[in-house]
Amino acid sequence: MNISSKLPQVGTTIFTVMSKLAQESGAINLSQGFPNFDCDKELKKLVNQYMRKGLNQYAPMAGVPELRKAISSKLSTSYNIEVESNDVAITAGGTQALYNAITALIRPSDEVIIIEPAYDSYKPVIQLCGGIARSYEIEGPDYKIDWNSLSRLVTAKTKMIIINNPHNPIGKILQESDLVELQRIVSGTDIIVLSDEVYEHIVFDEAEHWSVLRFPELRNRSIVVYSFGKTFHITGWKMGYAVAPPHLMKEFLKVHQFNVFSVNTPAQYALADYLQEEEHYLSLGRFFQEKRDLFQDVMKKSKLIPISSEGTYFQLYDYSAISDEPDTEFAKRLTTEYGVAAIPVSVFYSTKRDDKVIRLCFAKKDTTLKKAGKLLSKI
């Protein structure tokens, strides 16, 4: 049978490849971004409670009203803004929300600016829609955005700009000045901003998270994506949500209803209750900062050079003092020979790179981080 692929250049994701290699090698998996510790027992108890109540059938398409209202209150607490519950849609994780947003708004030949290194789902979805991804590459070790350079990619065909803040894989956060520059670039245009903010509460050293929702002009042209998986250590539940003004949410839901239609009902009710306690999410930055600091401490004897992590639960390391190998080969050898799996950062770029940087995930038990640090310090 002759099949014409819509994604001919796409293979298996690097996350699957490295996690499989880690499993086969018996290595500590610091590659894929998920915790190896459990979520709060209270949250599991709440889900079970609603399952026992019989709330096991389809939820309303946009989400149960209780959860959408709770999210509105959460946004008010976090960013001192007012968001109507009708501007919130519950999704099957952040990636599904990203897919909805791009699919709803990108047509063939539309251009979308992405900032690389970039989360690997952005570009394939743009391509599935017939759109054209225009990549703006940022360079280490600072990974700063030159907004004047980025603005040169804007053309009459530019339909969307995607930002990721805090940024996976580099662990950087955007400052207020960055959002002001983005606002300047899109002002007076029809450009939509897709803001991936799934790590919103994982920021360190008393820094602020500057959501696009805090800027009225950006908010009116943005779809913002969030993840309960990242916030409450439940990545396997695939629960997230999107926030958008009515004219964008209308289009978002047109795709959503024919994609998943609705999302896990008892989990929605449980999350609505769990959000009532603000400390459940406001404490997240402190929790992961302790893990970041612990991991950096146990890595002090390693020849791997840390690159500042300002947010997310990822830490970049420069391995140039150890090897001249391409990062993909080094990451594989790190897994099979030294027992720790990492992600090569070059896979997050469209062009061939030789930066000699790997990404390690510190969303792990303290014992796991200590053991990984000892192994990596032997190299």
One domain, residues 305 and 250? no
| Within-domain flag for 5 | no
One domain, residues 166 and 269? yes
One domain, residues 104 and 183? yes
Compute how many other C-beta atoms are within 10 angstroms of the C-beta atom of residue 177. Answer: 10
Separation between Cα atoms, residue 6 and residue 344, nearest integer Å: 26
One domain, residues 358 and 245? no
Q: Which of 234, 260, 277 is the last residue of a domain?
A: 277
| Within-domain flag for 178 | yes
Q: Give the structural domain span for 167.
A: 57-277
One domain, residues 303 and 229? no
CATH of the domain at 330: 3.90.1150.10
Q: What is the dihedral of CA 61, 13, 326, 139, to 10 degrees?
A: -10
Q: Which of 238, 258, 277 is the last residue of a domain?
A: 277
CA atoms within 13 A on the CB side of 58: 7
Tens-binned pLDDT, residue by residue, of the chain (379 aa): 888 888 888 878 888 999 999 999 999 999 989 999 999 999 999 999 999 999 999 999 999 999 999 999 999 989 999 999 999 999 999 999 999 999 999 999 999 999 999 999 999 999 999 999 999 999 999 999 999 999 999 999 999 999 999 999 999 999 999 999 999 999 999 999 999 999 999 999 999 999 999 999 999 999 999 999 999 999 999 999 999 999 999 999 999 999 999 999 999 999 999 999 999 999 999 999 999 999 999 999 999 999 999 999 999 999 999 999 999 999 999 999 999 999 999 999 999 999 999 999 999 999 999 999 999 999 9
Separation between Cα atoms, residue 247 and residue 262, nearest integer Å: 20
One domain, residues 27 and 70? no
One domain, residues 129 and 187? yes
Task: Classify residue 336 by burial, with Cβ atoms within 10 Å: 0-12, 13-18, 19+.
Answer: middle
Domain total of the chain:
2
Q: What is the DSSP letter of 302?
A: S
Q: Which of 246, 277, 308 is the last residue of a domain?
A: 277
One domain, residues 71 and 176? yes
Separation between Cα atoms, residue 46 and residue 41, nearest integer Å: 9
One domain, residues 273 and 372? no
